[in-house]
Amino acid sequence: MMNRNSSSERESLLSTVKPSNAIVSLAIPATLALLAKAVYNIVDTAYIGMLNDDIALAAVGVTLPLLLIMVSIENIFAAGAAVLAGRQLGAGDKDGANQTVTTIVGFSILVGISLCVLGIIFIEPLLRAFGASEAVLPQAKDYAFWMFIAALFNLPAQSLNCAARAESSVKISSIAVITGAALNVALDPVFMFSWGFGMGVEGTSLATTISQCVTFVILAWLYLSGHSMIKVHPKYFKLSGSFLWAVTAIGIPTAFIQICLAVATSLTNIAAKPLPDSDLIIAAYGVVQRLILIGCYVVMGFMQGYQPVASYAFGAKDEDRFHDAVRFALKGALLLTVVVAAAYIILAQPLIMLFNRNPMVIEFGRRLLISQVALYPAFGLCYMMTITFQTIGASKIGLFLSMIRQGLFYVPFILALPKCFGVTGIYAAQPAADLCTILVCVFFVKRMKQMASERMGANPNKQQPSPSRQKHPSNIKTRSEQRRGCCTDRVFYFE
């Protein structure tokens, strides 16, 4: 009985609670969980800084593209399954949601095994391709080895985590991630320093792998114990090419954000290699990227609150609720990125000093951090719109938007500017790419709303709005408004 009541409350949150309140209710624990996840990276970097070894810091920096690529592969399936399962729940198809999540979890286990084996086999050429010098390579290999072992747990854990978001079970999801982060903080010094196992950089990565395994066990318990709205059971496992394509088409835009970030990070390291003090620049950039991940996680956590609400409303064909959610998410994403950018610009130097005391690393890091967030709202705007196009099934536009910031725009700038202006070119590449991103995204805002309305209005079996919205006469549309597929007072989201 308690399980049924809990499921009913979660469904009510997705269907009847005011969209802004529902998004905030889901976003707060999701953001806390992601910030705890950021501890995996920040604590690792801080402890490595205590080794007083700039080479060790650079070694961790060159493994970041590999980490981002693995995260992107996780997101292809996990984010796609979350959106698809959310639509199915909104349409009342719980068996379909069960099949979606079970199949993706099973498939992600197979992908995790493949990544682990192939990554370990090709570990050295991969690290060299991402900018590891001869001095950096030995410690980078030690760190990357356990990253590949962690893929065995990370991929199915991420699929279960996204499924929990789809059904609004964010509390269990948050507990799982926060527990893993706390364990990571405790285990890092034990494995790293001489008074413990004395494994150095390798010990940091091993501690993180153990912590991520614990996170997976907690999430698996949620689904195997029957406490979830979505059920994971072998009888629901039905793998097919058409199913994988449907999930992949939805998930690829989110994954491409991570892939482009990995490419951008790698190219930045490569661009720095011919410059004077290249190892110091790469070490500083590695610290900056881990700080930037915190800002990314703040926005992603907010979007994790938004996506299940939007997916459920889209599946239920509730236009008013969907557009309310989109408008709130758009404004919220912009506000959050402005706050994050202001904090990083003001605190740039003391934040870098938390990880390294080398004056040159501090100065490179300070300038890099400020340049990375100078136009940071571009990230919030682009990410929010990618998620929305993904939710409404416009995967091609979502894919295009996911590629522009760190891909189509950043890549040519980082390839050209450092050759002309040295390290100043590295500082200038991100603001230039962000300016171009903002211009493109603004162009697509109105189209995003129109496409959503058209796709929800195209179903002849359109469901009635949720009961909470039927109570208010102001929410009732005229026939002409329904034919147009949108309300006359909602032409723009920026009201």
Q: What is the pLDDT of residue 119?
A: 92
Q: Looking at the predicted structure, is the pLDDT value of residue 437 above 90?
A: yes
Q: What is the pLDDT of residue 59?
A: 84
Q: What is the pLDDT of residue 388?
A: 93
CA dist 89 and 92 (Å) reads 5
Which of 146 and 231 is assigned the larger pLDDT? 146
At 23-42, the pLDDT tens digits run 988 888 778 777 776 766 67
Average pLDDT over residues 197-207: 89
User: Between the ranges 163-167, 260-264, 346-350, where is the mean pLDDT highest?
Assistant: 346-350
Q: Looking at the predicted structure, is the pLDDT value of residue 196 above 80?
A: yes
What average pLDDT does the structure give for the chain?
A: 83
Q: What is the pLDDT of residue 432?
A: 97
pLDDT band for 461, please (50, 70, 90 cuts): very low
Q: Is the pTM of this model over 0.75?
A: no
Q: What is the pLDDT of residue 345?
A: 96
Q: What is the pLDDT of residue 29?
A: 76
Average pLDDT over residues 474-490: 41
Query: Does residue 392 sit in helix, strand or coil?
Result: coil
Q: What is the pLDDT of residue 12?
A: 62
Percent of the chain predicted with pLDDT > 70? 88
Average pLDDT over residues 170-177: 77
Pick the closest to residue 386 from 376, 374, 375, 400 (CA basis): 400
Average pLDDT over residues 151-161: 86
Per-domain residue ranges for the chain? 17-458
At 31-77, the pLDDT tens digits run 877 777 676 667 777 788 788 777 887 888 788 778 878 877 877 88
Average pLDDT over residues 281-287: 88
pLDDT band for 458, please (50, 70, 90 cuts): low
Average pLDDT over residues 448-453: 90
Q: What is the pLDDT of residue 36?
A: 72
Q: What is the pLDDT of residue 487?
A: 40
Q: What is the pLDDT of residue 47?
A: 81
pLDDT band for 428, please (50, 70, 90 cuts): very high
Percent of the chain predicted with pLDDT > 90? 33
Which of 25 and 116 is assigned the larger pLDDT? 116
Which of 141 and 91 is assigned the larger pLDDT? 141
How many helices (H) and strands (E) would you count in the chain? 19, 0
Q: What is the pLDDT of residue 7?
A: 52
Q: What is the pLDDT of residue 11?
A: 59
Q: What is the pLDDT of residue 415?
A: 94
Which of 481 and 283 is assigned the larger pLDDT? 283
Least trusted range by pLDDT, from 104-108, 330-334, 471-475: 471-475
Q: Looking at the predicted structure, is the pLDDT value of residue 472 above 50?
A: no
Q: Looking at the predicted structure, is the pLDDT value of residue 352 above 60?
A: yes
Q: What is the pLDDT of residue 227?
A: 72
User: Between the ranges 111-120, 286-295, 451-460, where is the mean pLDDT highest?
Assistant: 111-120
Q: What is the pLDDT of residue 378?
A: 96
Average pLDDT over residues 396-415: 93
